Structure formats: structure tokens, C-alpha cells
Amino acid sequence: MRKVKRSIILLTVSAMIGVLSACGGSSNGNAGAGSPTASSTSSPEASPGGAAEKQVKISLFQSKVEIAEPLEALAEKYKEETGNEVEVWGSAGDAYATQLQAKLTAGEGPTVFSVATGEEAEKFKSYFADLSNEDYAKNIAPDMALKDGDKVVGVPYGVEGFGLVYNKSLVDPQQMTDLASFTQLLEKFKAEGKNGISLSQEAYFLIGHIMNTPFALQADPQDFIAKLNNGEVKMADTKEFQEFARFLEAIRANAENPLEVKYDTQMGDFAVGETAMVHQGNWSYGMLADFGDLGFDIGMTALPLSGNDKIAVGVASNWVVNAKASADQIKAANAFLNWMFTSETGKNAIVNEFKFIPAMTNIEAENLDPLSQAVYEATNSGETIPWAMNYFPQGIIVNDLAPAAQEFFLNKDMTGEQFLANLDAAWAKGAK
Amino acid sequence: MTTRKRKERAWYALFTLPLLIVFTTVVIIPFFIGIAYSFVSWDGIPANPKVFVGFANYADLLRDERFLTSAWRTIEFTVLALVLVNLLGLVFSLLVTSKLRGGNAARTMFFMPNLIGGLILGYIWQFIFTDAFKFIGEKTGMESVFFNWLIHPQFALYAMVIVFTWQMAGYTMVVYIAGIQGIPDELNEAAKVDGANLWHRLTKIIFPLLMPSFTICLFLTLSGAFKIFDVNLSLTKGGPNNATELFAMNIYNEIFGYGNYGLGQAKAIVFFVLVAAVTLTQVIITKKREVQF
């Protein structure tokens, strides 16, 4: 009996100590696991590259599902080459900004994370560390760096482009130059039992990207968005948007319902030749590559809205360093970014594994896949339209525009005018 | 003070203090901080200021149509789920306690879905409702029943009810089984001798004596259905067009989607008061009907 009693006391006391020490531990905030022990040891013998001093373990969180695996592989290689650890937290797709904010607010933010240029960067700017004096920041291509005032705060992933990715054996872009010919083409495919164009249910692939076109075709997209936010203009009264609604009507009438299509089914159907076109970007090539030899060539062309023949190109996302992390972690984060952007392994991974079109002067773009090649050529010739969607109010695509688009694609009776009115209403709600 | 008394107090403190500390730090303190947040306007970035706005958040949520729609949909969901879960739980428990062959195996299988997390369950059923249903519809020609339920505003809600029932019915079954086994056999046998048929035995003996189980099960399903989030997120994400955005998800979207921490917190407080009021009323009502034999 006494033995039992004693063990109960022991158990309770140890449980209490556990609770108390757990309370104390959480106040460390951003300091990641293992930081105190790892920082004190330095290993002079393990420095093949010269600069590889022992750094604390850092964490990394980013939005692109496509590079999740190669990024983890790169972190492994980094550990092999330098002995330093980077923990990759996976990626979250549409929910990225939400999860990032939750983590940052809880004081458990990653050391390195990604933000999109524009509203998203504006929102998180109080977390950005100044990178102006880092070596790798000097290699960023002109006008490509993410800046806060004069300070460089973010390094671009690379440039990306999106438009209509098409099957060259089925579609000739010359035959698709305006709404009438576009509709005709879709009708032709429908008659043949094929899907002419496929959007997919994810918020950006459903409406976010395709809606960029009418915005980008405005004389000054940023100014137009500002006026839209103030309610000075309406999409329903703007010519490009009226035509845009006609395009979506044509898609709804002649193609598979996008709400029944997921990104992977969208690309799968395209890869086997059942879908002629998908509205996607060069990032989707990674998925097509998984299917091996497609048996046809692919290309990227523009949504022929108001005679537009340019694809949309912009900076995909930027790497930033969390200024709220400890000084040791910031140092380690810069060491990692420096390694990624200057070492042969890192540069190779960016071009060949991530399939990014680099926005750095010290990285050559070669052996690009066909979609990236199209984007690269468009960038070099200046035949591009901007990513106006980066200046949309924060979160509006997922929160407000996507539900409105879902309603449009579900309700066959809704006209394009009603849809534009709904979009205007959704915008007014999202912009306040 | 005698040594015995002191010892007793020490024991008392030893057992209650750890609990008290845990409860205070993870429930009481956050709860009061939450109430405080509901009076400010804040976007969730620590560097940005929190502005005191008084009851403006509460006034806003009453004008928020999306919130009110979501409230209505939650009630619809809860009523449907409550009825289905308890009906099925009761039927299952009666089935497996009657001396049927394979009763034990059936019991295990009915309970199994409860062991799978709501998120995974949602993804499994998402596949069934979208791909499997469409396939069955195309093969059998019954496309009016078997279509992609998740893109129909009303059927998407029914889909959630089905998944929730699938998850919870086995759990309530276990509670009902315990209740049924607590009823002495003599009562049933005496009734049988007196010529009572199955229906009479059910309504006059089993159900009244099962009241304590009803109290527990109704409470569990009621609060569980009101607070549902995981199935909502993985099965429909609130779509299509926010038609299945239930209470908890609406609060989540307000806070993390729109970054209105204050307004979202105000909604959460209203939500808490509502759930507490409804479940307490239910417990009081069903408690009154419990009988002793």
C-alpha cells in the first residue's frame, strides 16, 4: 500500500513539474528547437567550401506545392555539404497565407518563408529582415528584388508566366484570336467529345489567374484596382470585363464544369489528350513531366481577350527572412540563402529541380522545359502583361471571388452581367 | 490543526493543484483574453495597433449576412445530424444486444469509423461523393440521385450529415449498449410474461430506463454537431459558394481569411454562449425525464 502511495506522489509531482516547465518553455517564442545546443558548437574541420561554419537549425515554410519535394532534397544536400540543418515545413497551397499568419502570430514562425509580391508582402512587411548587405542580394536581376523603401527584403524565386497551355496537335493559336473564334473552337471540341478548355476548382486556377487578364489590359492596372477599391469604377461598366464575362460564358457552355475538376485531374486529362487547353502556368510542367512522353508538343499562348496575345509574367514569390527570429537564426538563414543562390548545387536545383526561370544575374537559364521556354522568351522580348492580381486586396481571390465564380459555374441561368455584378459586390466586400 | 487534517489538506492540494494550473492556463485565461479581443479591431499582425471599438464588432456580426446564413445552415445541419446519429445509434445498439449471430463483429464495425479522424474521413468521403457517385450515376443511369453531391449547395450539406453520422453513430451506440445492459433482465421477462409485445417493451420499459443514455448522447451529438470543423474543412471547405460554411468555419475564415481578429472573436463568443445555452437546456430537459426503477 505504501509503495502505491509513494509512486502516486512521485507521479503527481513529476506531472506538475512537467506542466510548469512546459509553461516556461513556450516563452522562447521564435527560437526553434535545438537552437541553444547547436549554436555553441563550431566545427572547423567540416568546411570544404570555406564558408561552412556551423549554424543553428532553421525552419523554412513556403507556398509552392510543386517544389516541396525537391526543396526537401535540397535541404538534405545542404546538410551533407555544410553540416547545417534546414527543416522544411511542407507547403500549403491555397491556405498558405492563412497558415503563415497563424504561425507568425503564435510566435512560432519559420525562419525563412515566402511571400508573393504586392498585397501579401505589404501585409507581412513588419516581419522582413533587411537583406541589402547580403552577398546573394547583389545578384538579383534589375527591378526584380522585393523592396521595402530602399532596403532589399526579399529575393525572387524566379519569374513565372501563365496563360493557355495548349496541345499543339489539337490547337493552333492562330485560329483563336478573339471571342468568336475562341467560342467556335470550344464548340468544335465539344462536338468531338473532347474538353476544349479546362479550369480547375482551386481558387487561383478557377478565377484568380484567368481574371488577371482584364485587369492587366487596363492602361494602369494598379490605378484601376485602387479605383475599384474606392468604388469609383465598376467591373460591370468596363469593356474588358464585359468581354471577359462572355469568355466565361463560353467556357461554362462548352467545357466541363471546373468545380468537378481538380488540379491533378486537369493536368491528367490534358496529358492524355482529352483536354485541348488548360489555363495554367509554367509550374504545371512538373506534373506533365510525371506522365513521361506525352506524344504531342505543348505551348503557351494568351487568352485572346480584346485581342490580347501576351502571356502574364511576374515574380512568382520571394524568399524573405523572419526579422523576429534570433540573430543566430537570421545569420543561419542568410547562410542558407547564400548557399542556395551561389553554390553549384543550389543553382542547379533552382533551374533543374524547381524548374524556375531564374531572376538572378549569376544563374544561367538553360535546358528549360517548353512552358518555361515560352515564358523566358516572352520575358526577353517584353511581350508580356503584368500580374495585376498581386495588387488585389489581400485574400480576396480565395475569400470572395472564388465563391462568386463557383456560383456562376453552378447556376447555368446566371448571365455574364449578373456575374459581373456579383464580382463587383464581392470586391466591395473584400476591399473594405 | 492535527497532523491528520494537515495531511488531508496536503493530499487535496496535491491532486487538485496540477489540474487547476492546467485548467487556468489553457481554458480560463485564454477565454478572458478572448473576450477582451472581441472589443478591439485588429488584423492579427502583432506590430499593428489594436483599436478599442466597444460593441461595434457585435453590432457588425448581426449585420453580417454570411454569418447569419452560416448560423441557419449550422442549425439545419445540427437538427439533421442529431436525429440521424441517435436513431442509428439506437438501432445499432438494439441490433447488437439482441442475440443475433455476429453481434460482436457488427459492434466493432459500427464503432470503427469513430477511430478515424474527421479530416481523413472527410477526404475519403470526398472521393466517394465526387468520383464514386458520378461513376455509379453514369453506369446505372440514376443520375438524379448519384451525381457529384459536393457541388450542389443543399446536397453538400446532406453529404456532411452523412459523414458526421457515419462517424458518430458508432460512438452513441456504445453509450446506448451500456444503458441497455444496465436494464435488469427481470423487467423485460416479467413484461413478456404479462403479454407485452416488442413495441410495448421498447416504449414502456427500455426507453424510459435509457433516459440517462439519451441525456449523454444528445449532449454529445448536439455540441459535436454545433462545433464541427474538421469534416467541414476536408469535405467541402465551406463550398460551393459558402453554402456549407458552418459556424466554426465562418469564424475561422473571418479571423484567418479576412484577418478580422476582433470580429471573429466576437463571433466566437456569441457561438460559445449559443452552444452553452442550447446544450444546457437540452441536459436540463432530458435530466427531468430520467426515471428510477
pLDDT digit string, tens, across residues A24-58: 333 333 433 333 333 333 333 333 444 456 788 99
- Alpha-carbon span B125 to B224, nearest angstrom: 19
Mean pLDDT of A306-312: 90
Does B126 lie at the interface with A, CB-CB under 8 angstroms? no
Tell me whether 0.90 is exceeded by the ipTM.
no
**Per-residue pLDDT, A286:** 82
- Alpha-carbon span A131 to A147, nearest angstrom: 10
- How many Å lie between the alpha carbon of A402 and the closest alpha carbon of chain B? 8
Contact A202, A258 (CB under 8 A): no
The answer to whether residue A22 scores a pLDDT higher than 50 is no
Please give the residue of chain A at the shortest CA–CA distance from B47. Answer: A126
Residue with cell 525552419: A59
| Beta strands at A195-198 and A275-281: parallel, antiparallel or unpaired | parallel
Query: What are the distances in angstroms from CA B3 to CA B6, B9, B10?
Result: 5, 10, 10
Per-residue pLDDT tens listing for chain B (293 residues): 578 888 889 999 999 999 999 999 999 999 999 999 999 988 877 777 888 888 899 998 888 888 999 999 999 999 999 999 999 999 999 888 887 788 888 888 899 888 888 889 889 999 999 889 988 988 888 888 888 888 888 999 999 999 999 999 999 999 999 999 888 888 888 888 888 888 888 888 888 888 889 999 999 999 999 999 999 999 988 878 888 999 999 999 888 888 888 999 999 999 999 999 999 999 999 888 877 66
Start-to-end CA distance of chain A, whole Å, equals 68
Number of inter-chain CB pairs under 8 A, A vs B: 65
Residue among A265, A310, A273, A268 at smallest CA distance from A169: A273
Give A114's strand partners.
Answer: A319
Cβ of B158: how many Cβ atoms within 10 Å? 16
Output phi, psi for B272, to 5 deg. -60, -50
Sign of CA dihedral B45, B50, B53, B58: positive
The answer to whether residue A5 scores a pLDDT higher than 60 is no
Mean pLDDT of A126-148: 86
C-alpha cell at B170: 458508432
Mean pLDDT of A399-416: 92
Sign of CA dihedral A55, A61, A66, A72: positive
C-alpha cell at B269: 463568443
Say if the Cβ atoms of A98 and B44 lie within 8 Å.
no
Q: Tell me the pLDDT tens digit for each residue of A163-189.
A: 999 999 999 988 888 999 999 999 999
Q: Which helix or strand (DSSP H or E) is residue A164 part of? A: strand A159-167
- Alpha-carbon span B215 to A313, nearest angstrom: 61
- Alpha-carbon span B81 to B78, nearest angstrom: 5
**Per-residue pLDDT, A99:** 86
- Alpha-carbon span A410 to A252, nearest angstrom: 9
**DSSP-assigned letter for residue B227:** T
Q: Hey, of B15, B23, B45, B252, which one would you mutate to test binding to chain A, going by the most A CBs within 10 A of its CB?
A: B45
C-alpha cell at B216: 449523454
Residue among A99, A34, A26, A107 at smallest CA distance from A61: A99
| Beta strands at A146-148 and A86-91: parallel, antiparallel or unpaired | unpaired
A152-156, A364-368, A421-425, B266-270 — which is least confidently predicted? Answer: A364-368
Mean pLDDT of A257-269: 91
Of the CA atoms within 13 Å of residue A178, those in its CB half-sphere come to 3
- Alpha-carbon span B74 to A281, nearest angstrom: 38
- Alpha-carbon span A417 to B2, nearest angstrom: 86
**Per-residue pLDDT, A54:** 79
Residue with cell 490547337: A171
Of the candidates A20, A102, A259, the beta carbon closest to that of B256 is on A102
Contact A24, A53 (CB under 8 A): no
- pLDDT range class, residue A125, cuts 50, 70, 90: confident
**Per-residue pLDDT, A46:** 39
**Per-residue pLDDT, A421:** 94
- Alpha-carbon span A153 to A146, nearest angstrom: 6
Contact A386, A312 (CB under 8 A): yes
Give A160's strand partners.
Answer: A314
Q: Hey, of A259, A400, A414, which one would you mutate to test binding to chain B, going by the most B CBs within 10 A of its CB?
A: A259
Please give the residue of chain A at the shortest CA–CA distance from B16. Answer: A12
- pLDDT range class, residue A7, cuts 50, 70, 90: low
Please give the residue of chain B at the shortest CA–CA distance from A127. Answer: B47
The answer to whether residue A157 scores a pLDDT higher than 60 is yes
Please give the residue of chain B at the shortest CA–CA distance from A23. Answer: B25
**Per-residue pLDDT, B172:** 94
Single-letter code of the amino acid located at B130: T
| Beta strands at A112-115 and A58-62: parallel, antiparallel or unpaired | parallel
Residue among B242, B245, B232 at smallest CA distance from B126: B232
- Alpha-carbon span A297 to A168, nearest angstrom: 5
Say if the Cβ atoms of A260 and B22 lie within 8 Å.
no
| Beta strands at A112-115 and A318-321: parallel, antiparallel or unpaired | antiparallel
**Per-residue pLDDT, A390:** 87
Can you tell me whether residue B40 is helix, strand or coil?
A: strand
The answer to whether residue A326 scores a pLDDT higher than 80 is yes
Give B205's strand partners.
Answer: none
Within A376-422, strands assigned E span 384-385
Buried residues in A187-209 as b, exposed as e (16+ CB within 10 A): eebeeeebbbbbbbbbbbbbbbb
C-alpha cell at B68: 447569419
Residues of A in contact with B47 (CB under 8 A): 126
**Per-residue pLDDT, A9:** 56
The answer to whether residue A19 scores a pLDDT higher than 60 is no
- How many Å lie between the alpha carbon of A95 and the closest alpha carbon of chain B? 9
Output phi, psi for A251, to 5 deg. -65, -45
Q: A201-210, A362-371, B235-244: which has the highest mean pLDDT?
A: A201-210
Cβ of A295: how many Cβ atoms within 10 Å? 11
Mean pLDDT of A205-211: 94
CB burial of residue B285 (10 Å; 0-12, 13-18, 19+): exposed
